């Protein structure tokens, strides 16, 4: 009966399932934020890529801000991306060194990728930038090491938002 209820919620009202059940099970993870206004958070993963500068141009023209969850190894392709995005009012988060399913990594590899990407973001950021230290796991699933990161408040985790 409980399984049927959860399946029904997932199919018919995924937002309610995430806010009402999943978010309570993992309180250190942000799934959504309460607002009084109808707002939409625009998040973009896996960059920077070939179209990232054109996307920044478009967002600037539209006066829209976004959150970019970057792949650390991709920053070598476009070293100026982080500074430009931050200077234009966007947020930059950590999406590990390589694109892939974060939950399948060993704890050591997960932490190595997380910290290497964080260093790359910090080095690319303009001086004086206060790091938000957001993290989004590749594939949208948690890694068992993530709760330890939250205990020290070093990172905030945002899985892919699907509702
Ligand atoms: Zn990704």
Q: Residue 159: its pLDDT value, please?
A: 56
Q: What residue has token string 């607002």?
A: 35
Q: Residue 157: its pLDDT value, please?
A: 60
Query: Ligand 1 mean position to 46 CA, how many Å?
Result: 5
Query: Ligand 1 mean position to 96 CA, how many Å?
Result: 9
Correct CATH for 38-157 of 3.20.20.370, 1.10.1060.10, 3.40.640.10, 1.10.10.10: 3.20.20.370
Per-run averaged pLDDT (10 residues), the chain, 163 residues: 72 71 73 82 93 97 96 94 95 92 88 90 85 79 67 56 39
User: In degrees, to the nearest 5, what angle opens at C-alpha 94 toward C-alphas 101 and 17?
Assistant: 60
Query: Ligand 1 mean position to 16 CA, how many Å?
Result: 24
Query: Ligand 1 mean position to 17 CA, how many Å?
Result: 23
Query: Ligand 1 mean position to 4 CA, how many Å?
Result: 31
Query: Ligand 1 mean position to 48 CA, how many Å?
Result: 11
Cα distance between residue 157 and residue 96, in whole Å: 12
Query: Ligand 1 mean position to 27 CA, how many Å?
Result: 22
Bond prior to 108 in cis (omega within 30° of 0): no
Question: What does pTM read for this prediction?
Answer: 0.80
Q: Residue 141: its pLDDT value, please?
A: 76
Cα distance between residue 144 and residue 103, in whole Å: 7
Cα distance between residue 125 and residue 160, in whole Å: 24
């Amino acid at each position: 009966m409980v399984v049927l209820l959860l399946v029904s919620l997932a199919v018919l009202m995924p937002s309610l399932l995430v806010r009402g059940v999943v978010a309570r099970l993992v309180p250190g993870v942000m799934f959504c934020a309460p607002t009084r206004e109808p707002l939409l958070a625009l998040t973009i993963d896996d960059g920077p890529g070939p179209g990232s500068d054109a996307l920044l141009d478009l967002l600037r023209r539209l006066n829209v801000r976004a959150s970019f969850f970057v792949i650390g190894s991709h920053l070598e392709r476009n070293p100026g991306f982080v500074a430009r995005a931050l200077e234009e009012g966007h947020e930059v988060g950590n999406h590990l060194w390589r694109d892939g399913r974060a939950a399948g990594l060993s704890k050591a590899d997960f932490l190595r990728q997380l910290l290497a990407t964080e260093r790359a973001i910090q080095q690319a950021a303009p001086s004086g930038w206060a790091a938000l230290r957001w993290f989004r796991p590749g594939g949208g699933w948690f890694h068992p090491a993530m709760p330890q990161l939250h205990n020290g408040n070093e990172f905030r985790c945002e899985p892919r938002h699907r509702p």
